[in-house]
A and B are shown apart, each in its own frame.
Chain A
Amino acid sequence: MAPMPDADRLAQQFAVEQFLYDEAELLDDCRWTEWLTLVSEDIDYRIPVRSTRDRQAGVSDFSSHAFHLVEDHGALAVRLGRLSTDSWSENPPSRTRRMISNVRIKENSAAGIAVRSNLLFYWERAEQSSVLAAERRDLLRPGPTGFLLRARLVLLDHTILPTPSLSVVL
């Protein structure tokens, strides 16, 4: 595939960044139903468990079988529906702030735009707080208002999560 002209690359970089910021805003503002409209029906959302392994072993830290979260659209809708309505432990709600940075477009293909970004996620509730760090690997597809999130892989920097609950989506 011929390399993109710089002007197009800049435009795409801007559009992808704005999408990620808008998406983060919806999540931080607890606008779960609106966030779901940015997600494709065949979304693959997963946060694999990470174990510290010997570098020489050549085995990934990230599990292929164990996940903090591995959900499709239906499961996400139920999870977020709970947050909107009747969650015992989300009343009062958690406060979150997602800092997205280092947005890198890795590849354009028929499947979509492969994007990597860094996430710093602040969470607070009931006198407790935590900060999580992760790399996100997303696959974006064209959508009605710009993009749709087709896949998100969250690669945490933690093997033992310093937070009592990933009640919200990262």
Chain B
Amino acid sequence: MSGNPRAAEASPRLQETLSAFEAELDRGSVPLWIFNDPEVHRLELERLFPRTWIFLAHESEIPMAGDYVTRNIGEDSFLVVRGADAAVRVMFNACRHRGTKLCITDRGNTHEFICPYHGWLYDSSGKLASVPNQRDAFKGLDAGQWGLIPAPRVESYRGLVFACLDESVGSLAEHLGDFRWYLDLHLTLTPGGMEVIGEPIRWMIEADWKNAADNFSGDSYHTQTVHRFALKFGLVPRATAGSGGNPYDVHVTECSGHTTSIRQLPPDRPIFWGYPDEIKALFANSTLSPEQVSVAKGSLVHSGNIFPNLSFLHVGGTNDPKKPMIPYLTLRQWQPRGPGRMEVVSWVLAPSEASDAYKKRSYSVASSQFGSAGTFEQDDASAWSGIARTAKGVFPRRIGMKLNYEMGLPWMSEARIKQDWPGPGIVYDSNLEEGVQRTFLRQWARLMAKP
């Protein structure tokens, strides 16, 4: 079916900004206004979110035939359904008859999606199974032509289900590229892999999704300021959230468009994020290479961003200094909900083999630090909202106000390419650099500039 190509045009001003963007970025200069602008938002919905791989769900959210969740690509609603054949399908959440939203629940289990308008019934594979009064009203209807519209591409990696609305984009494996080396550290530590604990937490932040993705790309510089209470209260080790520049900290930039920031202890201390012995014992059977294990071994915390808007954080912490630290893995998606506005969808995952008691405690620490009531998250969200407040301003646009993204450029900082690092990407030997964030914005600009 033909689309509406004219809808995706950019104004001359935005075109000019986008064509100059990468050269400016390489000099460490980014305009403030892109972080709260209606036209930027509209163009992201038309040029970015439909033309790359977008995370939808973890397989462990829909384990049984008929399980479904409703999720968004950009601001479009899709059904993510485990069919009777065990395949996961992603289908546009609209009835083919009059287009009303087919499913208005968040999750459930069914093999019959019944439209609330005229009762057209689709099965869990999206096939139009029946329409009321078919014999009299629709005797010539070819049901095969009127099933739910599938997302053109659906693929999974290590339990993460992604979809892409563009036929011409390469595979998920190509999109994740070399970054799979880092993803595996989090997702394949144990033979059973990670599974979600419960439903995701969802909440609104009055800030642009790009500021969150930018932060999780590897903003190591903010932790000592914004999260300083965590150190004061003993909620994370000093090495996790203290000042940057520790010799065992690295920033992985330009890794197939994705990035990660890693803090480690010296190699003689096999901390593995603080996993207890009964879980560490399972790592011996993982499929990780010796090089990957060597990185996992010293790891205190990894944060990162999978372009465009899926971030992760794997860290050990506690919500009560009288109780021991425990690791948690959180995945979070920053969904656009208008200029300068986002919905956060945050999952907590744990090794599937872990005990119920471990999962409960890990979850409770995770939610106390990151999530709608997360004490760390609040401090971040507050800063990001402040950016939304200024970025929409008239004055900064008039003067073309530019932000400083210079940290880590050779003439500005001490960070250098790390020697003897076993993983892919352009890797720096210090987290006092912002190439991680420039990587994210570079990918953004390239997709946005493509007509």
* Interface set of A (CB-CB < 8 Å, partner B): 47, 49, 51-54, 57, 59, 63-72, 74-75, 77-79, 81-82, 85-90, 126-128, 159-167
Contacts and interface: CB of A to CB of B under 8 A. Distances in A.
Given A52-B106, A167-B375, A71 B381 contact: no
B233 interface: yes
A135 B108 CA distance: 24
Interface of B: 104-110, 197-207, 225-229, 232-233, 235, 319-323, 343, 348, 359, 363-364, 367-368, 371-375, 377-379, 381-383, 385-386, 389
B229 A85 contact: yes
B202 A160 contact: yes
A61 B105 CA distance: 10
B368 A66 contact: no
Contacts of A63: 198-199
Given A70-B367, A163-B372, 8 more contacts: A70-B363, A74-B323, A78-B320, A85-B229, A88-B227, A88-B379, A162-B203, A167-B373
Contacts of B200: 49, 66
A6 B385 CA distance: 53
Contacts, number: 144
A72 B372 CA distance: 18
A53 B372 contact: no
Contacts of B109: 57
A71 B198 contact: no
A68 B378 CA distance: 13
A50 B368 CA distance: 17
Given A81-B233, A161-B372, A166-B372, A53 B107 contact: yes
Nearest to A69: B373
Contact of A51 (B106, B197, B386): B106
Interface of A is mostly: mixed
A66 B349 CA distance: 11
B203 A75 contact: no
B177 to A, nearest CB: 32
Contact of A54 (B110, B343, B375): B110
A19 B9 CA distance: 60
A51 to B, nearest CB: 4
A71 B197 contact: no
B236 to A, nearest CB: 12
A78 to B, nearest CB: 6
A165 B229 contact: no
Contact of A66 (B206, B227, B363): B363
A87 B379 contact: yes
B381 A87 contact: no
B334 to A, nearest CB: 13
A53 B205 CA distance: 24
A117 B24 CA distance: 57
A164 B104 CA distance: 24
Given A65-B363, A75-B319, A82 B201 contact: no
B198 A165 contact: no
B382 A75 contact: no
Nearest to B225: A88
A68 B206 contact: no
Contact of A68 (B372, B382, B389): B372
A89 B321 CA distance: 21
A159 B110 contact: no
Contacts of A88: 225-229, 379, 382
B229 A54 contact: no
Interface centre among A72, A82, A162 (most CB of B within 10 A): A82
Nearest to A87: B229
B197 A66 contact: yes
A77 B247 CA distance: 35
A64 B198 contact: yes
Contact of B199 (A66, A127, A165): A66
